[in-house]
Amino acid sequence: MKFHKEGIPSLIITLIVTAIINALTINFCAAYPIIIWLGWALSAFLLITILQFFRNPTRSITINENHIIAPADGKVVVIEEVIESEYFNDKRLQISIFMSPLNVHINRYPISGIVKYSKYHPGLFLVAWHPKSSTENERTTIVVKHKNGQEILFRQIAGAMARRIVNYAQENDAATQGSEFGFIKFGSRVDLLLPTNVKVKVGLEQKVTGRHTVIATFE
């Protein structure tokens, strides 16, 4: 288990805050041991929260060109056909994964190929399960073209708590299935917009694991 680089600023801030809390309780509340213990407990809670949120578990992968794998940990909250109007302007199968604050928040390429499109959109911070969050929230849109000629689109979507989306994908980059393309801080959602002829392998409310769970397969 490793600590993700995106968490280093948050860890430094947390260490400073916990040091201040403990210094204040020890210096000004020495007559009240219960307050000192509460300060220690709060410090431990903050550190554990940051360490678990930015954890980077080691996960092996066997690349399969026919598989579309989960780009994130979380729960499947949407499986439906929609009209995608930003890039394809046609009907696509949308599969959305909600990421709670307890999930690993690393985002990974669901397929291998070439990044054909990568764009950031400023927006709102509606709760991640809101129907309009996919088109109105702060988000990034990425499209990867598979070697079979098919393209899939995926979006990192900010939620009410997620106020920072990190996207490493640049147009013309080589994407490798399972490798990192970004990170979303503190609860969020990832949408997959797939060709309608794929074979779906997950169901609503199913928990999925990034880099492991097969979301769909190409026909």
What's the pLDDT band for 20 if we cut at 50, 70, 90?
very high
Give the tens place of pLDDT for each residue, 105-137.
899 999 999 999 999 998 665 665 555 556 667
Does residue 19 sit in the same domain as residue 79? no
Per-residue b or e along 152-184, where b marks 16 or more CB atoms closer than 10 Å to that residue's CB = bbbbbbbbbebeebbbebeeebebebbebbbbb
Catalytic residue numbers, as ranges = 188
User: Which one-letter amino acid corresponds to residue 189?
Assistant: R
Does residue 116 sit in the same domain as residue 185? yes
Please give the pLDDT value at position 163. 59
CATH number, residue 212: 2.70.70.10
Domain boundary among 12, 34, 56: 56
Please give the pLDDT value at position 126. 62
* 158, 125 Cβ separation under 8 angstroms: yes
Does residue 137 sit in the same domain as residue 157? yes
The model carries a pTM of 0.86
Per-residue b or e along 191-205, where b marks 16 or more CB atoms closer than 10 Å to that residue's CB = bbbbbeebeebbeee
Give the DSSP H/E element, type plus range, for residue 80. strand 74-84
* 105, 184 Cβ separation under 8 angstroms: yes
Range of the domain at 48: 2-56
Does residue 6 sit in the same domain as residue 79? no
Is 61 inside any structural domain? no
How long, in residues, is the chain? 219
Is 22 inside any structural domain? yes
Does residue 10 sit in the same domain as residue 41? yes
Instruction: Supply φ then ψ for residue 51, to 5 degrees.
Output: -65, -40
Measure the CA–CA gap between 41 and 106, rounded to whole angstroms: 28
Quote the number of domains for the chain: 2
Q: Does residue 13 carry a pLDDT above 90?
A: yes
